[in-house]
Amino acid sequence: MVVEFGHFALVLATVVALFQMLVPFWGAQIQEQRMMATAKPAAIFQFLLLTVSFLALTYAYVVSDFSVANVVANSHSTKPLIYRISGVWGNHEGSMLLWVLILAAFGAAVALFGNNLPLTLKANVLAVQSAVALAFCIFLLSTSNPFLRLDNPPMDGRGLNPILQDPALAFHPPFLYAGYVGFSIAFSFAVAALIEGRTDAAWARWVRPWTLAAWMFLTLGIAMGSWWAYYELGWGGWWFWDPVENASFMPWLSGTALLHSALVMEKRETLKVWTILLAILTFSLSLMGTFLVRSGVLTSVHAFAVDPERGVAILVILSIFVGGSLALFALRAGELRQGGLFSPISREGGLVFNNVILTTATATVLVGTLYPLVLEGLTGAKISVGAPYFNLTFVPLMVPLLLALPFGPFLPWKRADLAAVAQRLLVACLIGLVAMVATMAMSMRGPWLAPIMMAIGVYVMAGALQELAYRVKLGSVGPQELMRRLWNLPRSMYGTALAHFGVGLLVVGIVGTSAYRTEKVLVMKPNDKVEIAGYELTYKGVAPHRGPNYREQVGAIDVARKGKFLLTLHPAKRIYDAPPQPTSEAGIYASWQGDLYTVLGDAQKEDGGFAIRVYFNPLVRFIWIGAVLMFIAGGISLSDRRLRVGAPRRSNRKVGQLAPTPAE
Amino acid sequence: MTRKQKRGILIGAGVAILAAAAIMVAFALRDTIVFFKTPSEVAEGKVPVGQRFRLGGLVADGSVVRGQGTKITFAVTDTIGNVPVSYDGILPDLFREGQGVVTEGKLDPTGRFVADTVLAKHDENYMPPEVAAALEAKGVKLGEGATHPGKANN
Amino acid sequence: MFLWIAFAVLAAAVIAALARPMLADQVAPEAEDEADLAVYRDQMAEIDADLERGLITRSEAKSARAELGRRMITRADDQSGEAKAAATWVPSPSPTHLAYATAAIVPVLTLVIYLGVGSPWLPGMPLTARMHSDPTKSSVNELIAKVEAQLRQTPEDGVGWDVLAPVYLRQRRYDDAANAFAQALRLLGETTKRLRGFGEATVMANNGIVTEPARKAFERIVELDKDNPNPEARFWIALSNEQEGKIAEARLGYENLLKDAPEGAPWKAVVENRLNNLDGNTKGPSAAVGTPPGAKQAPTAPPASGPQAAPGPSAADVAAAGQMSTSDRQDFINSMVARLADKLQKNPQDFEGWLRLVRAYSVLGRTADAQRALEDAKKSVGEDSEKKSRLETLASELGLKSS
């Protein structure tokens, strides 16, 4: 009953999407306001219907309705409630439903909060958005319908892949999708602009908040995925350059470029063609990511749901939207008027530099991800492209970008004096050098490049802080004036500084853990001791334990530092009931210096010992803290009145009367 | 500077970065990629000693021998060729005799494959696609009714 | 019915929402450029604010203002120049007509698609509701699931395990059966029945190998039943000796079993087979799966033949089966069963043969075939009530439907 209602709602949402694609667009063509006005209720109802549909599927999971084929395939009656819910999107069909739901949510948000948009633009944007939704609804109904029923329901399901039964992974896909799918708004705006044949600074201003929101979610989604891989896969690594990871990283890179180029377009009304192209490319990369993950054309640790037929369907959708939008771009880009002038050394120049590097980096990741596929198609040779490739191509590109990063916010628009800016950054450079010397002093081993990279990371962080200090004229004004200036600084400026600071922190974390990690693999018998990075670990033995839907062997390892007992770590080996599959649970002790990471291996048959792997990952937390700072920074910028979605009020106030608006 | 000159500088810089990246990509693709080989290809002597590659197949039944500490040896087979592998470390959770496995490392002069990475996939029924394809190419029956040593009887 | 009303309400709400703007009165066209100008005004205000905060210099502010001003003028020119001409190549329908068309097309299209993919006749089946449904109408699997769910709540309920264990055994879920018997033994104490169930299930779960726990269970049976030692347990012990390579002890066990066998015991042939096997193959231990005397559930082969039965597998066959790999053995057994079925087609009067066939199908998990064989057997016995009741018993034992 509930399930069928959800199914009906999904079908109705598909029909509404068809309506929303046709009628508002038609209305925009003939300038019929009443037809354009249908876009808003259509977008809202499309979202509501998909919500009903999604909730119905969730209900089927919660009550374990095994007459739904999808529930049978992915759930089990003994599973804890939270994983019964997260199981909804832990499989192909459910995750695609979530995908469409988020797509519709962004459409509805534009309909609701986009009151400042011209009616025609809004109608076109929502029509394009709905075209994407329609394609995926049809895809859902025809090849991946989560509501298919069974006449003879079994008494229990087959269970969710145990590796997915984890809190971080439970909420990683919704964030990742919100990021992926959020770029659809930028795409829809770009296509709508091409259809109307006009783009200007106002367009960029309307697009930026949406892009920023998508970018925030994607940042957090990637960070959560990396965090999950770190503690669940039991290898102690946090990034594997795995195709599926790359699939989410490429839209992030080009989305970051888009954020920066839209800034130039808004301020100077230049880089129009480029920004439109980036918006199209970013969403195309998102679609490609969906295709790569869902089709299983690439080998990956994450590829758990693969089906060639679905892959082909997504490939068709991908080619229609990418091909169509690029063709429209080729047709219309020439009509876009060029904007303001700028010197190569200027804020604009800096942002162009940022864009060139970021898109080049995206391209290198793309080549590394697709090359095995192409080579296999051409010669049949099977290869894998791993970390060494990316270390050789991606990493060198990041060095000039990071070096230039602190300069950016200091550069004035139009033209700048590079020497003057360099002088202002002297302090940041010095702090970076100090960090380099300190790194070298603290650890004699490790690659020679590591202290330099460490210095760059610290320099980026210091540069971000220095920009704020410069803006409030730190040191040259009294404390009261300082507070006033701090208070008056636009929030977007805090957002920029915090995001850049987060990038620096991320770099420090990556360098620290990659260059200075220590690892020991050994067989331990009860009361054996091992020392690593100044910690003394004593293995106490293992004990069996029974969880809600798994059995496990839990090890106990006492951690002490300088003879003082700190805590007991409990790495475990689990075997789930359904499906019976082993997983490792790492025992982690987190501190500012780094993580102590322990994994239980196999029991040694002869002597009752256990193979145990111990890592010390210095500074590894900074990676995720950096990413979370970027997320928060996005939020701060989004709350700035300049970027607020409904910002420009329709009033007839005269320009001169507008008082400076402090951040509300 | 004229508008043209400014644009020229920008475009020039962009092209320079792209060219540098392209050179690095070409260089990296030549040197860092790892080929995938089957045990029979190795047994036929198609792979030189010391070259890094991935070896994929099934863990041969009864071949897993645990040595001192975390040392372990086993054989990877595609039922035609058989390559002995040695590895020092903790095996993935799903490593089992008769299951698909991908190992990465080099051959030593005695023909033993010294692996530094062992990958097993996170799915009970999953076989790495390279392994499946390679085995099928060698005429090994897969899928329904295949003799999977751990599962043949029930 | 309620479902269809819900569908109708949902569709009506959607149609109303979509049609409403199109049925509204024509509103005065809004100035398209108003939205753009609002943005520019806002940007102008920002320049002033930044200047005020000292973020930009006075000259920067001046040039920025000038540029913004130029942009506003250009925008205004564009607006008046191109003036959003309505495209002429597309038809301009009346919005009112379009609203009616929407009201007609949306529900029809939705219904057509939904009827293609949906299953409106299937009720929802939440697990808890199914658990509490009328037991007389439930399937065996539902009943098992109920007991299982109950046992997850109260794992110390020995009676539950005791009920469940033989059912598992019959369903060939040997691991579960062994575990259930073990629980029942632990909670309710030893009986020969539970011990035998545990032993058998463990042997089956290990593909015919008599493991240490199983052997202990069988030894315990012999101990408990000193006066009338269960021949089955003794057989398994002997087999375990054979598997361990203690050939002499195994031989002694089999011979004693034969000596004590009552006249015409149907399992004598099996034991003799094993003995022959020992003679023919004394060199190494054979991990053969034996067929226990009188076992109701033969593990992988049909039960041993009675003296007057149609020729079943010969001793050589069984011996050969013992040395095969498990999957080959499965094929072998299937072919044997097929032979038996052929014979019964030609000679349907062989009642024992029918019993064996039904059992064999059931053991192999071919329930449908077992059901069919049972029906055929019933036809063949005609009005013989004694044979009929034996068939009924067999059917209920195997969990088959007996009409």
- Those residues with Cβ within 8 angstroms of residue B72's Cβ, 6 or more apart along the chain or in another chain: B64, B65, B66, B86, B87, B88, B91
Q: In chain A, which residues have their Cβ closer than 8 Å to the Cβ of B31? A: 388, 392
What tens digit of pLDDT does each residue of A335-392 get? 776 666 788 888 988 999 999 999 999 999 999 988 888 887 788 777 878 888 998 8
- Look up the pTM and report it: 0.77
**pLDDT above 80 (res C346):** no
CA–CA min distance B110, chain A (Å): 25
Rounded Cα distance between A645 and A287, Å, is 25
Q: Does C207 touch chain B (CB under 8 A)?
A: yes
* Nearest CB neighbour to A660, from listed C49, C106, C144: C49
- At A301 the pLDDT is 40
Q: Which chains have 3 or more CB–CB distances shorter than 8 Å to chain A?
A: B, C
As a whole number of Å, the CA-based R_g of chain A is: 27
Rounded Cα distance between A537 and A557, Å, is 6
**pLDDT above 60 (res C288):** no
Query: In this structure, what are the phi and psi dihedrals at residue A450, rounded to the nearest 5 degrees?
Result: -60, -45
Mean pLDDT taken over chain B = 73
> Which residue out of A19, A63, A66, A155 would a mutagenesis test of the C interface target, given it has the greatest number of C Cβ atoms within 10 Å?
A155
What's the domain count of chain C? 3
- At C301 the pLDDT is 35
Q: What is the mean pLDDT of residues A430-444?
A: 87
Residues B147, C327: C-beta atoms closer than 8 Å = yes
Secondary structure of A402-430 in HEC code, one letter for each residue: HHHCCHHHHCCCCCCCHHHHHHHCHHHHH
Q: In chain A, which residues have their Cβ closer than 8 Å to the Cβ of C123? A: 1
What tens digit of pLDDT does each residue of C121-170 get? 888 888 877 777 666 666 667 777 777 777 777 777 788 888 888 888 88
Q: In chain B, which residues have their Cβ closer than 8 Å to the Cβ of A296? A: 129
* Nearest CB neighbour to B33, from listed A296, A383, A584: A383
* Nearest CB neighbour to C55, from listed A37, A67, A471: A471
What tens digit of pLDDT does each residue of B114-138 get? 988 887 654 434 445 555 555 555 5
Residue where the block lists tokens 């039960």: C303
Pairing between strand A529-532 and B34-37?
Answer: unpaired
CA–CA min distance B84, chain A (Å): 21
CA–CA min distance A388, chain B (Å): 6
Residues C330, B147: C-beta atoms closer than 8 Å = no
As a whole number of Å, the CA-based R_g of chain C is: 40
Q: pLDDT by residue for chain B (154 residues), tens digit each?
A: 566 777 777 788 888 888 888 888 888 888 777 888 888 888 887 777 878 888 888 888 778 887 776 788 888 887 777 889 998 877 777 777 777 788 888 888 888 899 888 876 544 344 455 555 555 555 544 433 333 322 223 3
For residue C205, count CB atoms less than 10 angstroms from its CB and return exposed for 0-12, middle for 13-18, buried for 19 or more. buried
Pair (C102, C214) in one structural domain: no
Q: Does A42 touch chain C (CB under 8 A)?
A: yes
Contact between residue A83 and residue A160 where contact means Cβ atoms under 8 Å apart = yes
Rounded Cα distance between A364 and A358, Å, is 10
Nearest Cα residue in chain A from C16: A41
Secondary structure of A580-628 in HEC code, one letter for each residue: CCEEEECEEEECCCEEEEEEEEEECCCCCCEEEEEEEEECCHHHHHHHH
Rounded Cα distance between A435 and A459, Å, is 9
**pLDDT above 70 (res A218):** yes
CA–CA min distance B153, chain C (Å): 6
Nearest Cα residue in chain C from B148: C327
C-alpha distance from residue A447 to each of A177, A273, A514, B82 (Å)? 37, 43, 10, 38
Q: Does C171 touch chain B (CB under 8 A)?
A: no
Q: In chain A, which residues have their Cβ closer than 8 Å to the Cβ of B97? A: none
- At C136 the pLDDT is 61
**pLDDT above 60 (res C294):** no
Q: What is the mean pLDDT of residues A306-312?
A: 67
Q: In chain B, which residues have their Cβ closer than 8 Å to the Cβ of A353? A: 13
Residue C128 lies in a domain: no
Rounded Cα distance between A286 and A278, Å, is 12
Pair (C251, C162) in one structural domain: yes
Residues C40, A201: C-beta atoms closer than 8 Å = yes
Q: What is the mean pLDDT of residues A272-283?
A: 93
- At C310 the pLDDT is 33
Hey, which residues 11-40 in chain A have their CB within 8 Å of chain C? Answer: 11-12, 14-16, 18-19, 23, 26, 29-35, 37-38, 40
Contact between residue C208 and residue C285 where contact means Cβ atoms under 8 Å apart = no
Pair (C159, C269) in one structural domain: yes
Secondary structure of A72-115 in HEC code, one letter for each residue: HHHCCCCCCHHHHHHCCCCCHHHHHHHHHHHHHHHHHHHHHHCC
The length of chain C, given as a count of residues: 403
**pLDDT above 90 (res A401):** yes
Pair (C112, C143) in one structural domain: no
Query: Residue type at C210?
Result: V
Closest to C37 (Cα-Cα) out of A336, A190, A113, A116:
A116
> Which residue out of C78, C110, C139 would a mutagenesis test of the A interface target, given it has the greatest number of A Cβ atoms within 10 Å?
C110
- CATH for the stretch B35-137: 2.40.50.140
As a whole number of Å, the CA-based R_g of chain B is: 22
Pair (C67, C144) in one structural domain: no
Hey, which residues 304-323 in chain A have their CB within 8 Å of chain B? Answer: 304
Residues C127, A149: C-beta atoms closer than 8 Å = no
Residues A601, B91: C-beta atoms closer than 8 Å = yes
Query: Residue type at C396?
Result: S
C-alpha distance from residue B146 to each of A580, B55, C204 (Å)? 20, 22, 22
Residue C298 lies in a domain: no
- At A104 the pLDDT is 96
Q: Which of A155-159, A267-271, A408-412, C368-372 has the highest mean pLDDT?
A: A408-412
Report domain extents, chain B: 1-33, 35-137
Task: Report the CATH number that the domain containing residue C254 is assigned in CATH.
Answer: 1.25.40.10
Q: What ipTM is given for this predicted complex?
A: 0.84
Pair (C147, C275) in one structural domain: yes
Nearest Cα residue in chain A from B94: A582
Q: What is the mean pLDDT of residues A232-243?
A: 79
Domain span at C69: 2-85+93-117
Query: In this structure, what are the phi and psi dihedrals at residue A382, rounded to the nearest 5 degrees?
Result: -105, 125
Closest to A507 (Cα-Cα) out of A437, A457, A448, A455:
A457
What tens digit of pLDDT does each residue of A105-120 get? 999 999 998 888 888 8
Pair (C145, C256) in one structural domain: yes
Nearest Cα residue in chain C from A339: C71
- Those residues with Cβ within 8 angstroms of residue C301's Cβ, 6 or more apart along the chain or in another chain: C289, C291, C313, C318, C321, C333, C336
Residue where the block lists tokens 């298919």: A148
CA–CA min distance C284, chain B (Å): 20
DSSP symbol at A395:
H
Residue C122 lies in a domain: no
- Those residues with Cβ within 8 angstroms of residue C223's Cβ, 6 or more apart along the chain or in another chain: none
Q: A579: cis peptide before it, omega within 30°?
A: yes
Nearest Cα residue in chain A from B90: A601
What tens digit of pLDDT does each residue of C30-68 get? 555 677 777 888 888 888 888 877 778 888 888 888 888
* Nearest CB neighbour to A384, from listed B36, B69, B93: B36
Residue C193 lies in a domain: yes
- At A644 the pLDDT is 53
Band the pLDDT of C79: cuts 50, 70, 90: low
Contact between residue A176 and residue A248 where contact means Cβ atoms under 8 Å apart = yes
Q: Which of A447-451, A457-461, C132-136 has the highest mean pLDDT?
A: A457-461
Query: Residue type at C333?
Result: I
**pLDDT above 60 (res C192):** yes
